[in-house]
Amino acid sequence: MGYGRGIIVGHWVTLRRFLRTFFIGHGATLKRRGGGHQLFDLWPGKKKRGEEPTVQQDATTEGLFTVEYPDERLPVYERFRVLPVLVYDDSDGNVRCTCCNICAKVCPPQCIWMTHAAGPDGKPVPLPEDYYIDMDVCMNCGLCSEYCPFDAIKMDQNFELSNYERHQSHIFSLQDLLVSSEFYANTHPEAYASDEQVVERGKVAKKKDQRLQKALGVGAKPASNPKPAAKPAATPAT
Amino acid sequence: MSTPTITRPEWSTVIDPVLQKELEQHVLVTTWDKLLGMVDTVYNWGRRSSLWPLGFGLACCAIEMICTASSRFDIARFGAEVFRGSPRQADVMIVSGTVTKTMMPMIARLYDQMPEPKYVISMGACASGGGPFKEGYNVVSGVDKYLPVDVYVPGCPPTPQALLNGLIMLQKKIDGERFTQAPWYRGEVERDIPVPVLGPDLIDLRLLEITAERTAQGLVEAREETLEKPPIIPAPQPEVEEAPAEAAPAAPKAPSKLDLIRAKSAAAAAGTEAPAEAAEAPKPAAKPAAKPAKKVKKAEARPSLCWLGDAGLKELNDRLNSKFGAGTSTIIQAALLIPADKLVAVCLYLRDENTIKYDYLASLQSVHFEDCIEVNYQLDSTINQGKLIEVRVRTSQVEGEGEVPSLNSVWRGADFQEREVYDMMGVKFTGHPELKRILMWDGYSYWPLRKDFLEPYYEGPTKVFDSRCEDGRHFRAEEFNPYGSNTKIPKGWNGWGELDPGDDTKGKTLLPSGVEISELGTDQFMVSMGPQHPSTHGVFRMNLRVDGETIVGLKPVMGYMHRNHEKIGERNTFLMNFPFTDRLDYLTSMGNNFGYALAVEQLMGDDSKPPERAEYIRVIMAELTRVASHMWSIGFLLNDLGAFFTPALYAIEERELILDLFEWASGSRMMCNYFRFGGVAFELPPGWIERCRGIVNDRLDKKIDELDRYLTNNEIVGDRAKGVGILTAEQAINFSMAGPVLRGSGVSYDVRRAAPYSIYDRFDFKVPVGKTGDMFDRYIVRLEEMRESVKILKQACKDIPATGPILAGKKTYQIKVPAGEAYSRVENPKGELGYYVYADGSATAYRYHVRSPSFINLTALEQMCLGHSIADVVGILGSLDIVLGEVDR
């Protein structure tokens, strides 16, 4: 008995699964849970980049599971990390990086390289002149941003980085890496508002002016000790 | 702004300029070019919407590629769901992961076999430029050194969405192609690439002459002379009080540079009783010059966290000495040093006659010291569990002279591990039935894990390397190497004429001998299965000898994904190594982190004891990983049994939800890099634990039951899995099997119970075991283990302290690890994952070894497959649940 029964049961499993998308858990509302395109949303207008509906899936998700990238997207979690970026401050346009080299020291595959900027007198000042990240080596581990004492290097969330060429475009220089602090505050609201980072920013802000003076060679004292300047802030790193 | 309109006087009709342009382009065909342009549109549209990828995965990125094809991301929406097993039917090759030298000839061959038009997507940092493994000696720095790449997808690994983005980029590229200029319609365009050859190293035949010339010049050797070499320390010696006469032959001729390190290790040898003040007293190598050395903190001497104990070891030592004659056994750093000629006898005694029967060889590895190469064995007992001991044996460190008796006759599980030691350090094992290279290929010129081997991109003994940024320019590592690629060939090598691209250097020596089956009057022949095969779970290869359909011999050929994890681990500082452990068994990164953290924490001692909350977070993460991994494993077991992809789609859904949790907490789906020494990296985000409770309490049980309902009583699963691939309990123990495979054979051995780590002793869970040890039992054990994991998760989610520190001490990147030796074991989803770390007090590990369950479980593959058919081999391999990142490391 039962030739073909398995096939019918199999189809029922599939159909049941489809129907559960809409009917199970929160009343029969013909609505798909978690957001995204709905059942009667057959011809959704093409949303602009960044405005696509986000599909949030969790323990209650049943049935249809597909997130139709690029028309729908998965939520980007704040800690989601792809490549590092360097943050500059909106208020004055200064790079936060002091070229202390800690990110390069903790980088597991050794993809971060930088050189000190030199002041007018030729002495090094705590600012990066060159800053390179080879994204063909970077392993997106986030250690650089975790151990940066100046809140200068952060992990970006942009994953849409595909391109047709690598020899010119995959080594990111300082210019490619810079993002504004406002951008960072938008992508990482929780971290930006966290106590540690607020304290950190306060500290860095004080240091920043001194550095700028030094870089411009305005200060009477020549930039003889960039390292001690970096040290005190390095210790209270979180 | 008003749009200008064109009024045509003849008809005085108003035509919208946009419309007019459109009409001219698409309807009013005026030129031949435009006609062809229309053909282009259709032609490109057809091709772009049916890109069939080659079912071809190399490394971690392949898992994300499979996820892209599964339910959540559904690559079918782009017409690319037909992953073809054969290159002859494929349009696009997604090079997903690390391209190794061993695999490169296969990739080139596959590419050549693909018909035009063909495209290559280089997925992930490794495929694009070598990635984090770039400095390894077996890694090709970018697949574009050999293949023309169309689209690069950066990321490590790129998320499925990023891969889809790359696919869209490829579609855009195809949209721009012209029918009339397509290279594949022009006969003169030669797109095939020559297959590189595995000689002394990977040799690109296009560059043969220049390679030969530079080899003759010895440029590599000349460059190496200018670089700082890695330190080589002397082996630890017994405490002076006990055996002063047995001091090693002194090697006083070494340069003074090493004095410091030598003094460190002399201090390390001082032993257990007085760790604080013993730094100066015993100097086995009699080096009074070692005064200026600063005291190195020493770790407590113990082979593992859970072991026999000092008293027990002393008693065992005395017993061995009285039984086999004085001098048989000496205690060095809480382990027994046995002379090589008595090793087999002693091990047989330990296995069969000792009060605690050491029937289980947990791990085996070697360390290269200045005066010897030491092979050490971690032994445990499955009857009297958790009484681990370590046995050492020493042999000459001179290249090619080291010899140690093989323990293959005592524990079959030593088979592959001894071959690995031979492959990596050149130690010969007398009596080993088949001592061939296992991860590299026969003919490779070097013994890569010897301390005096420097990789082609070698820059310094430890990171941080010198800057690669000068005069406003960035240099790539290639530019330092005389060959311009990751190549190193010894100066005198001179076999250029014999290089043959058709040669199968890697697998030709590993041919199974087979057995005769008399009742079938058929011929036997060889089948090479893999490394590019959809059901070998990665780049794994088996050389099969079949009699008709019946397997009469099988030899695994591996190393196609050997990414030099251990060599890189010896250059990494302890902290840097965390993200690399993620990439071992890339389905269980949290578990890998866990094991590594425990190994180093064992050395660091009580300073790094994780706070309560961190322990709970660790357990939650590890158990979520187990559920995710077993889900994947069961889904793909069914794949291998013929239920293509549907069960996997159901199982992967749960895994995706768990990955969401990982991504939320740690920032990455797969490569979590979440553990730190003494805790975890980040606090759980607000709302995390609630969602985790939701999934654990309300969902996972139901889904496991669903899987159970669909599969367990399924007729086909029963027919294919019951009674196939049987491994008895005795065999499983003797073969050093681990995890669900060992328990499937009825041995109740789970490291969480045998040698409890972290806070596993607080949770109530069972250790499920099978009865017969067949494929079905292994499946059932995995299913039950998921239920037990959910049980642990429920308890952990309930009991976790709401607040509290998550890291012992201050967060710092400068980790100070005392000198010593540690072997940590965790029960990873695949089995016992062990990390052997030998620290010399510096910032990096002196020796770092991973006991990988997937690798050792393969030892018994031939045993399980004999007598079955090829179709069963696929299933049996699926039931072992190997991950190639861990097999080859």
Q: Do residue A141 and residue B666 have CB atoms under 8 angstroms apart?
A: no
Name A70's Cβ contacts closer than 8 Å, sequence gap at least 6.
A52, B161, B164, B165, B168
Q: Measure CB to CB from residue A65 to each of B71, B149, B668 and give the nearest one.
A: B71
Q: Do residue B71 and residue A138 have CB atoms under 8 angstroms apart?
A: no
Q: Do residue B168 and residue A70 have CB atoms under 8 angstroms apart?
A: yes
Higher-confidence residue: B294 or B858? B858
Q: How confident is the model at residue A58 (pLDDT cuts 50, 70, 90)?
A: confident
Judge whether B879 and B860 are in contact, CB under 8 Å. no
Tell me the C-alpha distance between B90 and B116, whole Å. 9
| DSSP label of B43 | H
CB burial readout B79-101, b (16+ within 10 A) else e: bbbbbbeebeebbbbbbbbbbbb
Q: What is the pLDDT of residue A28?
A: 54
Please state the rounded mean pLDDT for residues B158-187.
85
Structure tokens, B87: 């290159």
Give the residue extent of every domain in chain A. Answer: 1-35+44-75, 84-216
For A152-192, how does the pLDDT look when each residue is reduced to its tens digit (9 = 90+)? 899 988 888 898 888 888 888 888 888 888 888 888 888 88
Interface check A215 vs B, CB under 8 A: no
Cα dihedral across residues B427, B428, B430, B431: positive or negative:
positive
Q: What is the pLDDT of residue A233?
A: 36
Residue numbers in A near B160 (CB within 8 A): 69
Closest residue in A to B707 (Cα) is A13
User: Is pLDDT above 70 for B4?
Assistant: no
Residue numbers in B near A136 (CB within 8 A): 125, 128-131, 134, 142, 154
Pairing between β-strand B541-547 and β-strand B550-557 as defined by DSSP bridges = antiparallel
User: Is pLDDT above 90 for B620?
Assistant: yes
Q: Which fold has domain A84-216?
A: Alpha-Beta Plaits (3.30.70)
Q: What angle do CA A183, A185, A186 make, to 5 degrees?
A: 65
Q: Measure CB to CB from residue B158 to each of A13, A65, A159 and give the nearest one.
A: A159
Name B519's Cβ contacts closer than 8 Å, sequence gap at least 6.
none
Q: Which of residues 29-48 of A touch B (CB under 8 A)?
A: none
Name B190's Cβ contacts closer than 8 Å, sequence gap at least 6.
none
Q: Measure CB to CB from residue B576 to each of A108, A132, A137 and give the nearest one.
A: A108
**Interface test with chain B among A46, A106, A132, A139, by most B beta carbons within 10 Å:** A139
Q: Measure CB to CB from residue A67 to each of B73, B154, B468 and give the nearest one.
A: B73
User: Is pLDDT above 80 for B30?
Assistant: no
Higher-confidence residue: B730 or A91? B730
Interface check B357 vs A, CB under 8 A: no
Q: What is the pLDDT of residue B659?
A: 92
DSSP string for residues in A97-149: -----HHHHH-TT--EEEEEEE-TTS-EEEEEEEEEEETTT-----HHHHH-T
Closest residue in B to A167 (Cα) is B129
Please state the rounded mean pLDDT for residues B753-769.
90
User: What are the two backbone dihedrals, phi and then psi, of residue B203, each rounded to the nearest 5 degrees?
Assistant: -115, 125
Q: Do residue B667 and residue A77 have CB atoms under 8 angstroms apart?
A: yes
Residue numbers in B near A164 (CB within 8 A): 150-152, 169, 173
Tell me the C-alpha distance between B196 and B483, whole Å. 15
Tell me the C-alpha distance between B848 and B451, whole Å. 12
Residue numbers in B near A68 (CB within 8 A): 74, 77
Q: Look-up: residue for tokens 């070499």?
A: B229
Q: What is the pLDDT of residue B190?
A: 66
Q: What is the pLDDT of residue B473?
A: 75
| Closest to B567 measured CA to CA, from B736, B452, B465 | B452
For B419-430, how does the pLDDT look when each residue is reduced to its tens digit (9 = 90+)? 999 999 889 998
Q: Measure CB to CB from residue B71 to each of A66, A83, A138 and give the nearest one.
A: A66
Mean pLDDT score across all residues of chain B: 83
Q: Do residue A66 and residue B73 have CB atoms under 8 angstroms apart?
A: yes
Q: How confident is the model at residue A20 (pLDDT cuts 50, 70, 90)?
A: confident
* Residue B189: count of CB within 10 angstroms of its CB: 10
Q: How confident is the model at residue A223 (pLDDT cuts 50, 70, 90)?
A: very low
Q: Do residue B699 and residue A59 have CB atoms under 8 angstroms apart?
A: yes
Q: How confident is the model at residue A238 (pLDDT cuts 50, 70, 90)?
A: very low
CA-to-CA separations, B232 to B451, B676, B768, in angstroms, rounded: 7, 28, 45
Please state the rounded mean pLDDT for residues B32-41.
78
Q: What is the pLDDT of residue A195?
A: 80
Interface check A55 vs B, CB under 8 A: no
Closest residue in B to A57 (Cα) is B657
**Interface test with chain B among A140, A173, A235, by most B beta carbons within 10 Å:** A140
User: Is pLDDT above 90 for B434?
Assistant: no
Residue numbers in B near A81 (CB within 8 A): 667-668
User: Is pLDDT above 80 for B873?
Assistant: yes
Interface check B131 vs A, CB under 8 A: yes
Q: Measure CB to CB from residue B165 to each of A57, A160, A238 and give the nearest one.
A: A160
Q: What is the pLDDT of residue A2?
A: 65
Lowest-confidence segment of A47-56, B260-269, B463-472, B831-840 by average pLDDT: B260-269
Q: How confident is the model at residue B768 (pLDDT cuts 50, 70, 90)?
A: very high
Q: Measure CB to CB from residue A136 to each of B125, B467, B664 and give the nearest one.
A: B125
Judge whether A140 and B668 are in contact, CB under 8 Å. yes
For B465-494, how does the pLDDT look when each residue is reduced to its tens digit (9 = 90+)? 777 777 777 778 888 888 888 888 888 888
For B303-356, how does the pLDDT look when each residue is reduced to its tens digit (9 = 90+)? 888 888 888 888 888 888 888 888 888 888 888 888 888 888 888 898 888 888
User: What are the two backbone dihedrals, phi and then psi, of residue B862, each rounded to the nearest 5 degrees?
Assistant: -65, -45
Lowest-confidence segment of B79-83, B271-275, B392-396 by average pLDDT: B271-275
User: Is pLDDT above 70 for B259?
Assistant: no
Please state the rounded mean pLDDT for residues A57-76.
82
Q: What is the pLDDT of residue B166?
A: 92
For B60-112, how does the pLDDT look when each residue is reduced to its tens digit (9 = 90+)? 889 999 899 888 888 888 888 888 888 898 989 999 989 999 999 989 989 98
Residue numbers in B near A235 (CB within 8 A): none
| Closest to B864 measured CA to CA, from B745, B748, B764 | B745
Q: Which of residues 106-125 of B touch A (CB under 8 A)?
A: 122, 125
ipTM of the complex: 0.84
Interface check B753 vs A, CB under 8 A: no
Q: Do residue B153 and residue A58 have CB atoms under 8 angstroms apart?
A: no
Q: How far apart are the first and last CA of chain A?
A: 69
Q: What is the pLDDT of residue B658?
A: 92
